[in-house]
């Protein structure tokens, strides 16, 4: 069976192509069309890089270096492409250039840690990773890697993560701490860290401002982890405190609804869905509307 590759339209809907057709026709046409449009070209290059079209992504990344005058994002993107190609020396050179130009930023440090790790330099990798997280602690994958490095050595990852949770604006370290405590069946401690993560994101906006995506992410990550563990009542209580109908994505709200449905509180679940529908991004409304109709039908059956 041939592998399919998506190209997303202006509404975020996928249009599927055979991989060969995508490489031979879609990529060249889109690179040509967006060659002088920096943001559109960047988005497309990131997509084809993730889909494994490395040579094509490198061509686009080179153009982005010109358009953005070798800024942080394009230097890191080109370095990531070179790392995928196995050119560690070239990647290191670009990452060091990026660190020199943007000394207060952390992402280049965490990519540099990958270079050192591939050379077998665990201490160098750990040092670069820690520096990257000190500068930018909300790097999810870097935090997960830090946990893995400590677990490999039978060291306590909780102790390693806590200093990053104390950095102003940090919330992903708290989410990772919550995950670790949850896996160890320390439920109340896990919830405490999840709540701390959401409180940080809430503190970054004024009361009248709409919730940020970081706030949504903190809530949806927490509810997903709790629901995966079957903690129905804890999800309901967490959402009662932190879920907002004005979230642009439905994920935390759908976790809330599932927990309410499992608890036999179908009408409350219907109410949550109705509250959230007007605020959702267009691409999510159809799915949530179907969920609403399902619960309404279930409610009618029960009422007979």
d(CA 168, CA 193): 15
Residue 171: strand, helix, or coil: coil
Residue 304, pLDDT score: 46
Looking from the CA of 192 toward its CB, the CA atoms found within 13 Å total 6
CA distances (Å), origin 20, targets 29, 53, 58, 85, 137? 14, 11, 18, 20, 39
Tokens of 208: 């009248």
Its pTM stands at: 0.89
Residue 11 backbone dihedrals phi, psi, to 5 degrees: -100, 10
CB 259 within 8 A of CB 235: yes
Residue 301, pLDDT score: 63
CB 56 within 8 A of CB 48: yes
pLDDT tens series, the chain, 304 aa: 456 777 665 556 667 778 888 888 899 999 999 999 999 999 999 999 999 999 999 999 999 999 999 999 999 999 999 999 999 999 999 999 999 999 999 999 999 999 999 999 999 999 999 999 999 999 999 999 999 999 999 999 999 999 999 999 999 999 999 999 999 999 999 999 999 999 999 998 887 889 999 999 999 999 999 999 999 999 999 999 999 999 999 999 999 999 999 999 999 999 999 999 999 999 999 999 999 999 999 877 665 4
d(CA 200, CA 62): 38
DSSP assignment of 113-152: HHHHHHTT-HHHHHHHHHHHHHH----HHHHHHHHHHHHH
């Amino acid at each position: 069976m041939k592998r399919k590759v998506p190209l997303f339209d202006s509404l975020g809907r996928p249009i599927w192509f055979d991989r060969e057709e995508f490489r031979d026709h879609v990529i060249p046409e889109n690179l040509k069309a967006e060659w002088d449009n920096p943001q559109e070209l960047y988005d497309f290059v990131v997509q084809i890089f993730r889909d494994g079209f490395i040579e094509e992504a490198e061509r686009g990344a080179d153009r982005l270096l010109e358009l953005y005058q070798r800024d942080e994002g394009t230097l890191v993107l080109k370095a990531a492409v070179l790392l995928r190609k196995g050119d560690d020396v070239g990647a290191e050179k670009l990452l060091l250039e990026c660190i020199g130009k943007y000394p207060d930023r952390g992402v280049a440090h965490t990519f540099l840690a990958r270079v050192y790790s591939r050379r077998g330099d665990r201490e160098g990798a750990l040092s670069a990773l820690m520096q990257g997280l000190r500068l930018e602690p909300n790097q999810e994958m870097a935090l997960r890697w830090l946990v893995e490095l400590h677990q490999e050595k039978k060291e306590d990852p909780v102790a390693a993560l806590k200093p990053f949770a104390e950095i102003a604006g940090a919330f992903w370290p708290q989410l990772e701490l919550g995950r670790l405590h949850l896996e160890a069946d320390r439920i109340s401690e896990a919830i405490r860290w999840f709540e701390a993560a959401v409180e940080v994101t809430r503190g970054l906006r004024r009361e009248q401002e709409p919730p940020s995506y970081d706030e949504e992410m903190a809530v949806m990550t927490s509810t997903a982890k709790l629901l995966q563990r079957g903690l129905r009542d804890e999800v309901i209580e967490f959402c009662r405190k932190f879920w907002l109908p004005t979230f642009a994505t439905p994920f935390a709200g759908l976790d809330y609804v599932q927990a309410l449905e499992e608890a036999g509180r179908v009408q409350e679940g219907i109410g949550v869905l109705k509250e959230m529908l007007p605020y959702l991004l267009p691409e999510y409304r159809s799915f949530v509307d179907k969920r609403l109709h399902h619960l309404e039908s279930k409610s009618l059956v029960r009422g007979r």
